[in-house]
């Protein structure tokens, strides 16, 4: 098994970079072709070069920094409060980078039917991190846990001053539905 994203695009061919692979399904297919030529493998995991942009977070509002030198990474998160969760709507079909991912995987599989390609999508926790931020979601989880585990009204009030104990379960409900939605779209 080969996890192709462990290979920098420019290592396969200097004309490719991260920015190009985020913008071009054809660049991803060409890189996958190069991987198949150079490595003897029967299974490739994530034969695309778009980082975590492929998992639907872009379509739900996460902003990514895209440059030629580095894998895209999140810089802006759509969920800043519980009210923001209701603003996120799941489209009826794959769009944007998620659609690009599905189309790219299909084309690579068409060109290389001998390969087993894995479809890699994020689950609820990873999606939640991409929608809320890795600096906020763990704290949200802790606030929720502390709040539901106490019966002391004074302690509950102190916990509420640290954050909204209801945001964590609401985010996880959204991202669970989003993960199911993405897998349904993929099949």
DSSP codes, 100-157: HHHHHHHHHHHH-TTSEEE-----HHHHHHHHH-TTTHHHHHHHHHHHHH---HHHHH
> Which of helix, strand or coil describes residue 63?
strand
Which residue did the predictor score with more confidence, 4 or 119?
A: 119
Local confidence band at 2 (pLDDT 50, 70, 90 cut-offs): low
Decide if 109 contacts 39 (C-beta within 8 A): no
Query: Structure pTM?
Result: 0.90
pLDDT at site 52: 78
Decide if 43 contacts 96 (C-beta within 8 A): no
| CB-count exposure of residue 33 (10 Å: 0-12, 13-18, 19+) | middle
> Which of helix, strand or coil describes residue 68?
coil
User: CA–CA distance from 179 to each of 122, 139, 149 (Å)?
Assistant: 7, 22, 28
Structure tokens at 132: 């809320």
pLDDT at site 1: 65
pLDDT at site 64: 94
Domains and their CATH numbers in the chain: 2-186 (3.20.20.210)
pLDDT at site 4: 63
Decide if 60 contacts 78 (C-beta within 8 A): yes
> Which of helix, strand or coil describes residue 42?
coil
pLDDT at site 89: 92
pLDDT at site 54: 79
At 165, give phi and psi (nearest 5°): -70, -10
Instruction: Flag the least confident range among 28-32, 36-40, 57-61.
Output: 36-40
Residue-wise pLDDT tens digits, 84-133: 999 999 988 999 999 999 999 899 999 999 888 888 888 999 999 999 99
């Amino acid at each position: 098994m080969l996890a192709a994203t462990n290979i920098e695009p420019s290592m396969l061919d200097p004309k490719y970079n991260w920015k190009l692979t985020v913008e071009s399904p054809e660049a991803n297919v060409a890189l996958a072709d190069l991987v198949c030529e150079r490595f003897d493998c029967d299974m490739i995991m994530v034969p695309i070069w778009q980082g975590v942009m492929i998992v639907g977070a872009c379509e739900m509002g996460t902003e990514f920094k895209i440059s030629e030198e580095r894998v895209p990474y999140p810089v802006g998160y759509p969920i800043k409060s519980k009210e923001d969760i209701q603003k996120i709507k799941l489209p009826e079909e794959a769009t944007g980078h998620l659609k690009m991912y599905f189309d790219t995987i299909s084309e690579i599989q068409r060109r290389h039917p001998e390969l087993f390609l894995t479809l890699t999508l994020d689950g609820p926790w990873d999606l939640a991190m991409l929608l809320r931020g890795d600096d906020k979601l763990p704290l949200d989880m802790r606030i929720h846990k502390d709040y539901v585990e106490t019966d002391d009204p004074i302690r509950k009030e102190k916990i509420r001053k640290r954050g909204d104990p209801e945001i964590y379960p609401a985010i996880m409900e959204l991202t669970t539905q989003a993960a199911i939605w993405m897998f349904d779209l993929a099949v």
